[in-house]
Amino acid sequence: MSAQAPACQLLERQNDTYTALWAIGPPTDSWLIDQSMGVISGDLDALREWQAKGKHALTPFDLAAGEPLSKEIVLFWPKAHQLGIWWLKWLCEQLPEGTPIEIVGEHQGGIKRVPKMLDELGMRWDKRDNARRCSLFATQTVALDSTSDSAWQQFETLGLTLNSHPGVFGHGKVDEGTLLLLESLESSLPKKPLKVLDMGCGDGIISAWLAQRGHHVTAVDVSAFAVEACKRSLAANGLAGRVLCSDVFSALEGEQFDWIVSNPPFHKERDISYGPSQRLISQAPEHLNTGGRLVIVANGFLPYPDHLQRAFQDFQTLADNRRFKVYGAIKSGR
């Protein structure tokens, strides 16, 4: 099977050099999965694809410092450049000094900026190949002055302390849509403690806000970075909550909630993807108690009203500031 992703097609030209490849933050590509020993990724979907083929699959938070990896490390450069720098620093911490690392990525994804970043980190580099509008660089781990933990950003908002990581939605700031959602909840959420699901928790602002008001919170996200950020945000505020890595409801089989609250994503890297949001809406009734409520916020142009109408037969627009709309739908007892 040939590689499909452009960055993997570039690697395929070097195929004879890989015998025990570890892919770091890669796209899902069958050729790469077959070629590699394992993957380290923050993306649950990627981890599942590797696991399905019997390969090693770890998040960076599963790997203990010094745990042995093969010396065939390929980092797939992410869209979020600060996340790419985090990966480089993390690899330098995990691997012995002088361990070879290759870095591959698409030109439109910013790979051309990598040499400058390597220079700033004091990491010598060579350009190995260039094709498919992608580039491949070779470097080696070094001892760095700053740690990967320095990428975490802590900030205050709405009386809460939040912890944010590069690559997590809204890194270092509060999204306008989330603020509109919380403003809407302030006037509509019952005072009595509810069992609430925060779907797509990001840095944990919704979870922390709900937990601060006494609700029993379960938070899920498909990103291991978001799960870690949400855990840190809850801990920073002395709040309790269960935080899980889940592809929409995949980790919540059979569970039901009083409310489901979400600022659902509609991007995956540079692509628009409505799939997770559609599954959230269509499967929400199965995970709500009778009389339970789904509340979501979305850009005004997104086609969620049709999905809400199909799933719940009725819905309300709870807030509208022209850019974002907050929708609410109740599970009836019929």
Ordered structural domains, the chain, with CATH: 6-145 (3.40.50.150), 152-330 (3.40.50.150)
Are 327 and 318 in contact by the 8 Å Cβ rule? The answer is: yes
Residue 114: pLDDT band by 50, 70, 90 thresholds? very high
DSSP E strands, 44-141? 56-58, 72-76, 100-106, 125-131, 134-140
Whole-number pLDDT of residue 279: 93
Whole-number pLDDT of residue 16: 73
**Other CB atoms closer than 10 Å to residue 211's CB: what's the count?**
23
Question: For residue 18, how far is the Cα from the chain centroid?
Answer: 28
The pLDDT tens digits of the residues spanning 176-229 come to 999 999 999 998 899 899 999 999 999 999 999 999 999 999 999 999 999 999
Give Cβ neighbours of residue 275 (< 8 Å, ≥ 6 apart).
none
Whole-number pLDDT of residue 69: 75
Average pLDDT, the chain: 92
Whole-number pLDDT of residue 270: 46
Are 283 and 308 in contact by the 8 Å Cβ rule? The answer is: no
Q: What single-letter amino acid sits at 187?
A: S
The pLDDT tens digits of the residues spanning 236-262 come to 999 999 999 999 999 999 999 999 999
Are 64 and 36 in contact by the 8 Å Cβ rule? The answer is: no
